[in-house]
Amino acid sequence: MAAAESDRDPPSALCSEFLNFSARDTATRWLEAADLKHEVYRHLAVYVPRILCLGPTPGGGGAGSSREEQREELACQLLLLAPLEWFLLGEEPSTGLALLQEKNQPSPLCGHVFKVGEPTYSCRECAADPTCVLCMQCFLGSVHREHRYRMTTSGGGGFCDCGDAEAWNKGPYCHNHTPTANTRDSEADPTALLPADMVARGYSIFSIILKYAVDLLTWDQEDQVPAGLEPPERGDTYYCMLFNDEVHTYEQVIYTLQKAVSCSQKEAVSFATTVDRDGRKSVRFGDFQFCEQAKSVIVRNTSRQSKPLRVEVMHSSVVAHQCFALKALSWLGQVIQYSDGLRRTLCQVGLQTGPEGENSSLVDQLMLNDSKMWKGARNIYHQLLMNSLLMDLKYKKIFAIQFAKNYRRLQTDFLEDDHERVVSVTSLSVQLFTVPTMARMLMVEENLMKTIIRTFVDHLRHRDLHGRFQFDRYTAQQAFKFGRVQSLIGDLKYVLISRPSQWNDQLRVKFLEGLDAFLELLKCMQGMDPVVRQVGQHIEMEPEWEAAFTLQMKLTHIITMIQDWCCTDERVLIEAYRKCLSVLSSCHLPEGEQPISLSVAGHTVETFRYQVSQDKVSIHLPLYRLLAGLHVLLSRTEVASRFPEQLPLGELSPPLLIELPLRCLVLCAQVHAGMWRRNGFSLINQIYYYHNVKCRVEMFDKDIIMLQVGASMMDPNHFLMIVLSRFELVHIFSSDCRKRYREANKDVVQQNNTLIEEMLHLIIMVVGERYVSGVGQVEPLEEVRREIIHQLSIRAMAHSELVKALPENGNKETGLERVIDSVASFKKPGVTGRGLYELRPEWTKHFNLYFHHYSRADQSKAEEAQRKTRRQNGEDTALPPPRPPPLCPLFASLVNLLQCDVLLAVEGAVLHWAVEPSGGGWTESMLQRVLHLVGVALLEEQQQLENSSGDDDVTFNYTSKITRPGEAPSTSGSVLALLESLQNAPHLEVHKDMISWILKMVSNIKTMRERSCSTSTVAVSQGQGPEEMVRDKDKAERKRKADMARLRREKIMAQMSEMQKHFINENKELFQQSLEELEASTSAPPERSPPGLEPMCVSQVCVGPRRVGGAEPRQLVTCILCQEEQEVRGHGRAMVLAAFVQRSTVLSKNRRRSLPDPERHDPVFMHPDLSMGVHTASCGHIMHATCWQRYFEAVQLKEQRRQQRLRGHTSYDVENGEFLCPLCECLSNTVIPLLPQTRPPDPSVSHPSLEAWLKLTNQQTAVLRYTHRSQSGGVAEEAEPVVPEGFRVDFAPQNPFSSSVSEMVTAFSVSAYKVGLKVNPNEQDPRVPVVVWSTCAYTIQSIGTHTHTYTHTHLRGRADAVCLSERLLMDEQKPLFGSLPCRQDDCLSSLTRFSSACWTSAPVTTTHTHFVRLFTALHPDASAADAPCVLDMDMFHLLVYTVLSYSSVHTLDQSRWSSVDSAHLHLLHLVTVAHLVQILLTSTTEEVCMDQDGAGSQEEELTCQLYDRLRKHLSSVLPEVTSGWQLYRRVKVGILPFLRSAALFFHYLNSTAPPADLLVAGPGQWEALCSYLSLPSNLLQLHQSQHTQLEPLIQRWCCHPGVRRSLQGGGAVVQFPRESNRLIDLPEDYSVLINQASSFTCPRSGGDKARAPTLCLVCGSLLCSQSYCCQTEVEGEDVGACTAHTFTCGAGLGLFLRVRESQVLFVAGKTKGCFYPPPYLDDYGETDQGLKRGNPLHLCAERYRKIERLWHQHGIAEVIGHAQEANQTLVAIDWQHL
Ligand SMILES: [Zn+2]
Ligand SMILES: [Zn+2]
Ligand SMILES: [Zn+2]
Ligand SMILES: [Zn+2]
Ligand SMILES: [Zn+2]
Ligand SMILES: [Zn+2]
Ligand SMILES: [Zn+2]
């Protein structure tokens, strides 16, 4: 970096200026000046370079720069802006501005400009279009709050539309912006409210400043400033300015910068970030040479692959003035906020045409130079435009006209530029074009529609010979341009989005001109990307297809909108139809096709030879489809019948109209038939999108309509023959070709079968699809309803699935909400899954198996589902067609297709083939379709009969036609006769129901006809009679059959479930794996108590000489790998339990404590804040140690091979010892060896008193200490202590375990040590056993804590404490025992037994040393100066450590005088008393007051006594407490978690069954707990009875200097009980979170908005995730903010909420993570990951609690493991960068 930085001293240079400068005087001078501009420029010329040209980093970056910036800011304000304000206001600026604001009569527009990430709201009921949005403030104060609204996050730019009456159909004003008496009439001139001289001054100063800013922002000389601004003294100071582009990556820029200006990686990142954000950044400051040198390096380094990065060496004065120009623009934006009058003045200045005439206003200059400016400059002036021109209705119009005039040029500039659209001035179109009146005006006056379309077409220059678009030869550059040019379609959409309610001639003319341009565009698309069937070889290269479909997709809404416009005006519609037709005829079929004539069933038609399978065919036919759409409108608006003379209907040639759409449909059929396999995926994709919901409205749907149009105007026989011919099936159905299948090969037969099926389906659609308003007589609502019915006929669906299946209109609406509740019922979701809609049963009768939007897969699923429900309801399984709605008159003749001779011949043929069991000659689907067609025809006839008054006007007579025998050459009987003969054919069992239905219909219709002949009017009602009777009888029979079937089914089900139960019993372990189950079992007591939990009626004691248990003689387990049974013995083959050890902060009460230094950390004493512990979990699966080792080696080997092959990660880290349990795939990283139970106590050994035991232990520890010191060459002159009798320091106990068990003992110890301390394995480290004990203690403690889930978060004062204590004592919680799932129980018992034996694998003396230290802390003496104070130890950990370490000391005592159990009991008593003291010391720091209630009990008295003792030792530090009752309550509540944990510990240590009272919730828990622990239920008696022994101890505890220090406020004191930690509280409404996150700025890059704000659910920190700026180095690697945070907050494990994505993120370590569904649901019971749908989201407390439970149970790592196993793509994500 430049050396200049240090030797400058800018503040002092400016200081004197500050003092001498007077803004007022300057302003006065200006007022008097003759040439104001000259004066102002002179001022700027002097001061701007001095203030803003200070060195290498103007504006941002680096550490000390923020102070620098502040100084700069201050100087700007005082020296530059203040004079302007004085000049403008004529008085002290702050008063003047306040006065202006007070007098201002604001327009009701809100105009709040959105920041990136800020929530925006749109009302789906009232917004004119989806771009109309409200800011959060306005939304909360609006009526739309109660409506159906959509919430999204802003991408930045754009403003709140509150107050714009045109944007909202209802409720345009929020609470704050409702017009009042003070609101100005929008027509009135706001400048009239200001004093005339101020307006004049404003005008002149705004002109100068705006001109200054425009000149500088558009300035293109690096070395010169504009005239009048030359600095008084010009130095050789330059900046090397780096500009942003979208070509080079972050990494490239950072790398280059490090080389070019030799800065650190960090500085380079900071430069790159600023360049990306602001568009430019100076990277070097110095003399010209110095900067030029850096420039050449950058250019050289980046020019290799692409065009080089843009770098310029600029003179410092130019940069300084440009800086100030931006500040001046911001200033203008601020000043006009105070007064609408000033705003109007500024608008005037901005749009005033200059002397150069056209396009010479300052705003024009800015716009036209937009693409030349850097990002930061654009942002600031765009913001000013929004604050000024767009907020002033009069000037908004003028500006819009200017914008439209320059539209083509601006767009061209944008296309040449490479910046994103949000920073282009063209993005303002959304603000201008979406205002309907404005759009209309621009269309009329500036011919906007035509301009946009023409500009668009002109930019797509690549055409083929026929003038069609050609995308396949696009270069990358052109593809990029194609991407950008699409934004024009967006503009067109804005213009067309609201239909005009009133037309005038001008609008008609301009719209039709626009339509002409649009038709030209469609003409260029017509026939794009033609395909030819590939025969022989597979295509070599997949042809390009996406561009064409992208275009089609983008235009879909436009095409629909244009039709909507046409629909509102008859004249426009007629004219549009004519135009469309004439363009269509100008691009007709290629000539020269050979005419042929076809004849089928006695009819003949003239057509020409064309085969889809051999000739060119294209999917893109937009002109035909538009015409089809317009034709439907002619019918819907009845224009066709009212003005037939104006329509060119006579010119239509139906065969030509249907030709191309038909080819397209045949292409689809042939692709289905497998004829186009060699054409590759490109074609398959095209066919997919052709039917896809995004395109089908203007593709597939319109092709069907076009066939309907054609068929309705043609002889039905001719139509069908052409169809047959295009399907290449004529020869099969024509008279002379009956021997079709004899000679053909199998593939051809199959192909033809599929083609016949497809053709029949097409005919079904052409006659049956009538739900388009205009084709059939339906309301638009019915169309949506039918879609929904058919979706839900497949299965119940979630709201979002339905939305996806329905086409959206231009307003992003599907119409779903209007009908859904009438056809479906909603089923709420549980804790997982989502809410589902189910079809109401009464709507199933509308189900149509051949619904045109079903894919083949949908169809078969729906068929299956429908048949199933029908069977369940005991109905027949026929799925006849539903009754179709009547056709509109224009399409009425379509029905004749059903009864025409050709179709009858086809039907007859298929039925005839079906007589013989299929030999490949026909298919069931074919038959099914024919039956469906027959059904449709019968329904049609029935309906016509019902609606007619007599037989005469029913022209449709299908029944009579099918009764006639087939004409020659089909010598078979009539269709009806064929059906009758098929009815009982055994090979047609499946279709039997359908055939019976048809036959019944036929007889029914016959009856109707007969009746209508005799008694014409009553025919309808009576006509139902006989059929009904037949039905009833039939129904009864069916029901009987169904019942029998049900009985049979039930029997089978019963057998099945019996087998299943058996299986479950056998595999019980297996079924307890999933976490769901784990939860279930913790919330309800399991049916089976784990072994050792059988309740005992006798009094159970788990600790001390009277303890029971350990009596179970043999413990047999089965290895999951080899299935052999094995007894657990110390000397046998080792058995192990798969386990997972992890660090945990779940219980932490202090997240600010920094992580311990792994090498020096001393874990012997656990602080009561439990800031970090080691947790062990297990899935409970047992293996032989040898079996496991073999398994693990195999895993390692496999992983090595896999890594060589794929070089990817797996979900587990083998190098760190991780593996998946071979049975349940649970993530594990070690194994716990199973050890035998402890033996029952020896009754012959005496139980010494506390006094005797203390004396002995003191002697023992003294000896040990002395020995250790002398061994290490320590203090030799110390007197040798008395050695108690039989105590042999040098005794070496025999290892009680076989080598195989010992090996496993070491293995687990070392892995716990490795994970717990994060160090390299070292079995000699004395800390090894301590870590094992600590994981035992911590794991038990986490269960002891979390089985109590307090419902209250805080203990506030007494009332809550009492409430809490009552609840605990009244035992509302779960019982201590009996609620643990099996696997946890197994894990804890093995872990505890293991911990008690792990010292055997460690060097003996280390355990002794630990015991000595621990004991000294509990029993301090003079020699123990370094022991921690009583407030700094977690007592449960102390208890576990002392108990577990004592065993090793006890073995030295060969006298066998006392038992280990006595020692355990004494230790428990001592620690309990210490904990009592600890609780008393800490519980009264909060002031409590409550009247005493009467005489205290014994407990209370004793509590007071003890408390008084403590006060005596600590006098002033402890407050006086009057209520013994309250103190005792506190003690009792505070100590309960400890007692519970202790009970668990001794239960597992000694295998003592718990007493019955502790197995179930209920009264008497406290007493049971105390007696189980061999404690008096009045705990204070412990102190009372051993008064003499304990008193000196208590005194020593209290006198530890640490106690006084802590209580006097030296750090946070942990209070008891420690509440269980909870995840942070989340707001109910998700948008609150979004709002919070939107104002969150990255803590590193000076006020920049964080792109991925992420919330830590554990501590509530907001982080700037997934971004370079906030990467931190952790353990030698750069990691993102989330990962870094987990290391301080969660010991490597984290739970986050990604706010913009609405997604929960779990992270473990640096390489593992997964996403998890957020606890926020919309009203349809669905999450919205990615916030794509925008439905309002609300907190689901149960789901949040589920996440919390997962965390409490240490299950996050396992969830990640399972997620990564299930979804391999998760493995590839770089989690550490989040
Ligand atoms: Zn607003
Ligand atoms: Zn508002
Ligand atoms: Zn609304
Ligand atoms: Zn085994
Ligand atoms: Zn397992
Ligand atoms: Zn956190
Ligand atoms: Zn950041």
DSSP-H helix ranges across 134-249:
136-140, 196-217
Q: How far is the CA of 1733 from the centre of ligand 3 (A)?
A: 18
Residue 806 reports pLDDT greater than 60: yes
Residue 736 has pLDDT above 50, yes or no: no
Ligand nearest to the CA of 1135: 4
Total residue count of the chain as it appears in this document = 1778
- Banded model confidence at residue 370, pLDDT cuts 50, 70, 90: very high
Share above pLDDT 70 across residues of the chain, in percent, rounded to a whole number = 86
Ligand nearest to the CA of 1646: 7
Question: pLDDT by residue (tens digit) across 1541-1599?
Answer: 999 899 998 888 888 877 776 677 788 888 889 888 888 888 888 888 888 888 888 88
Q: Is there a contact between 346 and 296 (Cβ–Cβ < 8 Å)? A: no
The CA 1552 to ligand 4 mean position distance, Å, reads: 29
Closest residue by Cα to residue 144 from 1736, 1634, 1740: 1736
Supply the pTM of this predicted model.
0.80
What's at 433, amino acid-wise? F
| pLDDT given for residue 419 in this prediction | 83
Q: Does 335 have pLDDT greater than 90? A: yes
- Phi then psi dihedrals of residue 878, to 5 deg: -65, 140
Ligand closest to CA 1659: 6
Residue-wise DSSP of 1265-1317:
HHHHHHHTT---SSPPPPPPTTB-TT--PPP-S-HHHHHHHHHHHHHHHHHHH
Q: Give the distance (Å) from ligand 2 centre to CA of residue 125.
A: 18
**CA 117 / ligand 1 centre spacing (Å):** 15
Looking at residue 1661, what is its pLDDT?
92
Ligand 4 is an ion; residues with CB less than 5 A from it? 1119, 1121-1122, 1184, 1187
For 1072, the 3-state DSSP assignment is: coil
Residue with tokens 């109590």: 1348
Distance CA 499, CA 440 (A): 10
pLDDT > 70? residue 948: yes
Q: CA 511 → CA 277, 350, 499, 572, 628, distances in Å?
A: 41, 31, 12, 8, 20
Mean pLDDT computed over 1375-1393: 81
CA of 1148 to the centre of ligand 7 (A): 27
Q: Please report the pLDDT score of residue 1029 as a whole number.
A: 53
In order of 1165, 1404, 1437, the CA distances from 1449 in angstroms are 19, 9, 19
**pLDDT above 50 for 1155:** yes
More confident residue, 1210 or 523: 523
**Closest ligand by atom to 170 CA:** 3
Find out whether 932 and 567 touch, Cβ atoms under 8 Å.
no
**Rounded mean pLDDT of 238-264?**
86
Going by pLDDT thresholds of 50, 70 and 90, the confidence category of residue 1162 is confident
The confidence band for 1720, taking pLDDT boundaries of 50, 70 and 90, is very high
Confidence (pLDDT) at 953: 62
169 Cα to the center of ligand 3, angstroms: 8
Mean pLDDT on 1172-1190: 91
pLDDT value at 836 more than 60: yes
Confidence of residue 276 (pLDDT cuts 50, 70, 90): confident
Q: Please check the confidence at residue 887 and state whether its pLDDT lies above 90.
A: yes
Q: What is the pLDDT of residue 1361?
A: 39
- How high is the mean pLDDT of the chain? 83
3-class DSSP state for residue 1092?
coil
pLDDT digits (tens, 9 = 90+) for 1630-1689: 988 988 888 888 887 766 667 789 999 999 999 988 887 788 888 778 888 999 999 888
Residue 1606 CB-density burial (10 A; 0-12 exposed, 13-18 middle, 19+ buried) = buried
- Per-residue pLDDT, averaged over 50-54, amounts to 75
Winning range, highest mean pLDDT, from 1055-1059, 1193-1197, 1213-1217: 1193-1197
Confidence of residue 885 (pLDDT cuts 50, 70, 90): very high
Q: pLDDT grade, residue 1205 (50/70/90)? A: low
Q: Rounded to whole angstroms, how far apart are CA atoms 613 and 1149?
A: 75
The predicted pLDDT at position 1557 comes to 78
Higher-pLDDT residue of 139, 1281: 139
CA of 1040 from ligand 5 middle (Å) equals 50
- Cα–Cα distance between 852 and 830 in angstroms, integer? 34
DSSP assignments along 1211-1258, one per residue: SS-GGGT-EE-TTT--EESEEEEP-PPPPPP-TTSB---HHHHHHHHH
Assess whether pLDDT exceeds 80 at residue 219.
yes
CA of 886 to the centre of ligand 2 (A): 49
Task: Report whether 1103 contacts 1208 (CB < 8 A).
Answer: no
**CB-based contacts of 689, cutoff 8 Å, min separation 6:** 549, 552, 553, 695, 699
Is there a contact between 901 and 602 (Cβ–Cβ < 8 Å)? yes
**pLDDT in the model for residue 699:** 95
pLDDT score recorded for residue 11: 47
Nearest to 640 by CA among 887, 280, 366, 891: 891
- Ligand 3 centroid–CA 123 distance in Å is 5
- Choose from 498-502, 734-738, 1056-1060 the range with maximum mean pLDDT: 498-502
Paired with 1708 in beta bridges are 1693, 1712
What is the separation, in whole angstroms, between the first and last Cα of the chain?
Answer: 31
Ligand nearest to the CA of 1643: 7
Q: What is the DSSP string of 95-143?
A: HHHHHHHHH----S---PBPPEEEEEEEETTTBSSTT--B-HHHHHTSG
CA 1776 to centroid of ligand 7, rounded, Å: 15
CA of 126 to the centre of ligand 2 (A): 15
Of all ligands present, the nearest one to the C-alpha of 1120 is 4
pLDDT attached to residue 888: 93
Q: Nearest 5°: CA angle at 1251, between 1245 and 1257? A: 70
**Beta-carbon contacts of residue 1546 (< 8 Å; ≥ 6 apart):** 1102, 1103, 1107, 1464, 1468, 1552, 1573
Task: Give the C-alpha separation, 110 to 158, whole Å.
Answer: 12
Q: pLDDT tens digits, residue range 853-872?
A: 999 999 999 999 999 999 99
Beta carbons of 411 and 488 less than 8 angstroms apart = yes
Distance 114 CA to ligand 7 centre (A): 20
CB 913 within 8 A of CB 729: no
According to the 3-state scheme, what is the secondary structure of 1367-1378? HHHCCCCCCCCC
Degrees to nearest 5, angle at CA 47 with 45 and 53? 95
- Among 245-259, 274-288, 662-676, 1649-1663, the range of highest mean pLDDT: 662-676
Q: How confident is the model at residue 1372 (pLDDT cuts 50, 70, 90)?
A: very low
Q: Any idea which ligand is nearest the CA of 1073?
A: 5
Question: Cα of 1228 to ligand 5 centre, how many Å?
Answer: 9
Distance from residue 145's CA to the centre of ligand 7 (Å): 34
User: Which pLDDT tens digit goes with each residue over 65-92?
Assistant: 667 777 888 888 888 999 999 999 988 9
Compute the C-alpha angle 1706/1708/1714, nearest 5°: 35
Distances 1478 to 1020, 1507, 1544 between C-alpha atoms, Å: 93, 11, 22
User: How far is 1248 from 1261, CA to CA, in rounded Å?
Assistant: 17
Torsion of CA 1651, 1656, 1662, 1667, to 10 degrees: -30
Judged by its nearest atom, the ligand closest to the C-alpha of residue 120 is 1
For the chain, what is the total number of helices (H) and then of strands (E)?
66, 25
pLDDT tens per residue across span 1083-1139: 333 343 444 444 444 578 888 888 887 666 678 888 888 888 888 888 888 999 999
- Mean pLDDT over 1336-1342 rounds to 91
Q: Identity (one letter) of the amino acid at 301?
A: N
Q: DSSP letter for 77, please.
A: I
| 1362 has pLDDT over 60 | no
Band of the pLDDT at 1018, cuts 50, 70, 90? Answer: very low
| Residue of 152 and 16 predicted with greater confidence | 152
Cβ 202 vs Cβ 342: under 8 Å: yes
Would you state the pLDDT for residue 300? Answer: 87
Least distant ligand from the CA of 141: 2
The residue ranges of DSSP E strands in 1102-1229, in sequence order, are 1116-1118, 1125-1127, 1135-1144, 1173-1184, 1219-1220, 1227-1228
Continuous H helices in 832-914: 856-872, 901-914
pLDDT, position 1597: 87
1368 against 225, higher pLDDT: 225
1696 alpha carbon to ligand 7 midpoint, in Å?
16
- Tell me how far the alpha carbon of residue 1129 lies from the centroid of ligand 4, in angstroms: 15
Does pLDDT of 354 surpass 70?
yes
pLDDT tens string 595-653: 888 888 888 888 888 888 888 899 999 999 999 999 999 999 998 888 888 888 777 78
CA 160 / ligand 1 centre spacing (Å): 5
Amino acid 1484: pLDDT: 63
> pLDDT: is 544 or 562 the higher one?
562
pLDDT bracket for residue 1401 (50, 70, 90): confident
Give the Å distance between the CA of 176 and the centre of ligand 2. 5
Instruction: Write down the pLDDT at residue 568.
Output: 93
| pLDDT greater than 80 at residue 1004 | yes
- pLDDT tens digits, residue range 1503-1553? 888 888 888 888 777 777 767 778 888 888 888 889 989 998 999 988 888
Q: What is the pLDDT of residues 1430-1472, one digit of tens each?
A: 888 999 999 999 999 998 888 888 777 778 888 899 999 999 9
Ligand 1 centroid vs 440 CA: distance in angstroms?
A: 26
The Å distance, Cα 1390 to ligand 1 centre, comes to 63
Vertex 898, ends 897 and 899: CA angle to 5°?
95
